[in-house]
Amino acid sequence: MCGIAGLIHRGKSSDVGSEMTSMLTALKHRGPDSTGFAVYGEPNAGDYIMRLKVAEQEDMASGYDMKDKIDIRIGEVEKRLAEHKASIKAKDAATPYAMRYVITHDGDTEAMARYIEDVEGTEILSLGNSLELIKDLGDANVVADNYGLRDFKGTHGIGHTRMATESDVDIRSAHPYWAFPYNDVSVVHNGQITNYWLKRRQMEQRGHRFMSSCDSELLAVYTADNLANGATLEDSLKASIEEIDGVFTYLVATKDELGMAKDTMAAKPLVLYESDDMIAMASEEVAIRAILPQEIDTTDPYDEEIRVWKA
Amino acid sequence: MESMSVMAEDMGYDPRAGKTRDEIEGTTQEDRARDLGMMSEQLKNRSMEVFFEVGEDENFVYPYADMVDFNKRTELDCEGKPTTQVNKDIRALMEEGYGTIVLKNPRGMHSVGVGILNKLNLIIEGSIGYFGVGLIDGPNVRIKGRVGWSCAENMMSGTVLIEKNAGSTFGAAMRGGDLVCRGSVGSRTGIDQKGGTIIVGGDTGAFSGFMMQRGRMVVCGNAGKNLGDSMYDGTIYVGGEIRDLGVDAVPAEMTDLDKAWLTRKLTQYDLMPEKGVDHFTKIVAGKMLWNYDNLEPNEKKLIL
């Protein structure tokens, strides 16, 4: 049982950071292990936002020289950015192990990302023109406060509260997942995928990277693979219902779209609210009510249903 | 079905006349169960169908019902309260003799109004979350918003009316009473239904009536795939299109009795389609699954 939530404001920017925090706080009972947000700000062409972690939270207590190791890793990451002719315009550290860079780069971002992830303990959480992907252990309030998310303005976002069932409680197994190497694509998932190993082997044979053993990561990799083959988001969601086994409801966000897919058994919940200026969805109505206290009409999508909305 | 009034005459009193608490405590458990309308159904041989009359009496009669004053009305604000506190507050108000309670600002709260075992008019002004009004026995509930998953699960008697949509597993394992949703409901509606009536004004999702054992379900709109999968018994009426039928669910002929009953029920809840009820499809169990044979339960025990 995990909690997922998504939100789009059509054609305008809003307080997505604080709204997503309220929604995920209301879903805390569905998963207290970790919380993640993928929120989309105004796209700034040319500049990339890169969020990465250089260690896990538990590593911080693993040795007297951990701080030095982290400094060395951050130094190496910056050296490798320079080697790929990326110039750092801004640099923030929300926690000692999680960095945010704003970089300018006009080469192959995939090659650069692969080179940076070669640094020990380093994982790029997100890379894109508008995506900011934040995930850490703790509930929504803790994560939002640590990463200063409440002031974030943007058009849309997705989020997740995790109850770990398939893999460890750590940042690498937390959602959302960035659809490496696709800039600005992220995925959150509630459910269990039963043909994970079969699909993972197929994806690994095609050169995709897996950072965790969490089944939800497969959906991010699978979506990236479909997009690489020229599929639209809608095509990818439709294909996943046939090709992915298990019970699942998942949300995918791109630079300007948000999509959902529900499995053939309709075993995992999602509640939808649609209006002319905003769309909100969550595992439980209580999350939607957290930001829309007035009486509204909400619906449940049916089995095998897929939807895509434009921001 | 042996009507209750006949039984009551045999027992020498009319349970509908109402009794005081002392009188009820003086009776045996069997008498009280009979007063509640239990033990009145006869299982038939191969078919466990319970024949019904069009004019059958609604639900059951409650021993304490005469002590509830429906005109005594109060409001309860759920704002900022945890679910347990709201449910305790409802009980406290019922003990104070309030017969009508209006809940304000539920805002998707889970498990609201569960386990109410007496007559009560409960009006919920807003939407509620999962497991709303589950395990109830007697109250009339009106919900002006939407309900989440597993609304009225294990409901035993009473009436629940939802003005908007409902989530999945609507009326799961329901045993009696009327459960009505004016909008559309999610998947697995009436899963494991053991009695009572579910009425859906809109559409229903996949696996509706899954493992249904008794009772009736009416869907005015369309039904999703695997309708009535592995149903043991009971009846499903669908007004719209059926995507496909599940294992051992078969269409049956609509009789005049079915039409009269549908007309009465749908009129009662103001859901009567303009074109009447002639277009409804009736689905029953084919009874070809392994658990059906010609033996009575007692005979089975002898063999096993």
Ordered per-residue pLDDT tens for chain A, 311 residues: 799 999 999 988 999 999 999 999 999 999 999 999 999 998 877 799 999 999 998 888 887 889 999 999 999 999 999 999 999 999 999 899 999 999 998 888 899 999 999 999 999 999 999 999 999 999 999 999 999 999 999 999 999 999 988 788 999 999 999 999 888 999 999 999 999 999 999 999 999 999 999 999 999 999 999 999 999 999 999 999 999 999 999 999 999 999 999 999 999 999 999 999 999 999 999 999 999 988 899 999 999 999 999 98
A214 counts as catalytic: no
Alpha-helical segments (H) within chain B: 4-11, 21-25, 29-35, 83-95, 256-268, 297-303
**CA dist A160 → A6, A156, B45, B275 (Å):** 9, 14, 53, 46
**pLDDT at residue B106 above 80?**
yes
Flag if B168 and A284 touch (Cβ within 8 Å): no
* Domains of chain B (ranges, CATH numbers): 4-35 (no CATH), 70-303 (2.160.20.60)
Question: Using the beta-carbon criterion (under 8 Å), do B186 and A302 form an inter-chain contact?
Answer: yes
**Residue of chain A whose Cα is closest to the Cα of B169:** A267
User: Are residues A16 and A152 in contact, defined by beta-carbon separation less than 8 angstroms?
Assistant: yes
pLDDT of residue B297: 67
User: A306 to chain B, minimum CA–CA distance in Å?
Assistant: 15
Q: Which residue of A has its CA nearest to B105?
A: A293
In this prediction, residue A311 carries a pLDDT of 84
Q: Judge contact between A104 and A86, C-beta under 8 A.
A: yes
Contacts of B206 in chain A (CB under 8 A): 264-266, 302-303
B108–A265: do the CB atoms touch at under 8 Å?
Answer: no
> What does the alpha-carbon distance between residue A227 and residue A161 come to, in Å, rounded to a whole number?
26
Calpha distance B193→B177 (Å, rounded) = 12
- Interchain pair A285, B144: CB under 8 A: no
CA torsion sign for A79, A82, A88, A94 is: negative
Q: List domains and CATH numbers for chain A.
A: 3-43+130-310 (3.60.20.10), 45-128 (3.30.70.1120)
Helix (H, G, I), strand (E, B) or coil at B276: coil
* Cβ contact B205–A266 (<8 Å): yes
How confident is the model over B64-81, as a mean pLDDT?
85
Question: How far lies A10's CA from each of A16, A154, A157, A309, B14, in Å?
Answer: 12, 11, 12, 9, 64
Q: Render pLDDT for B227-255 as a digit per residue (tens, 0 to 9).
A: 999 998 899 999 999 999 999 899 999 99
Q: Residue A253: which residues within 8 A CB-CB, separation 6 or more?
A: A6, A38, A40, A131, A156, A157, A158, A176, A185, A186, A187, A259
Is B20 strand, coil or helix? Answer: coil
pLDDT tens per residue across span B40-49: 444 444 334 4
Point out the catalytic residue in the list A1, A2, A24, A186. A2
Beta pairing class for A3-9 and A278-282:
antiparallel
Min Cα distance A304 → chain B (Å) is 10
Q: In this structure, what token pair is assigned to residue A86?
A: 């990326």
**Is B127's CB within 8 Å of A289's CB?**
yes
Residue of A nearest to B107 (CA): A289
Residues of B in contact with A303 (CB under 8 A): 187, 205-206, 224-225
Instruction: Identify the pLDDT of residue B293.
Output: 63
User: Do residues A52 and A103 make contact, with C-beta atoms less than 8 angstroms apart?
Assistant: no
Average pLDDT score over residue span B201-225: 95
- Work out the minimum CA distance from A299 to partner chain B, whole angstroms: 6
Cβ contacts of B107 on chain A, cutoff 8 Å = 286, 289, 293
Question: What pLDDT sits at residue B21?
Answer: 67
Q: Are B144 and A297 within 8 A, CB to CB?
A: no
Q: Residue B10's pLDDT is what?
A: 46
Answer yes or no: is the ipTM higher than 0.90: no
Chain A: nearest CA to B248, how far in angstroms? 19
8 Å CB contact between B113 and B132: yes
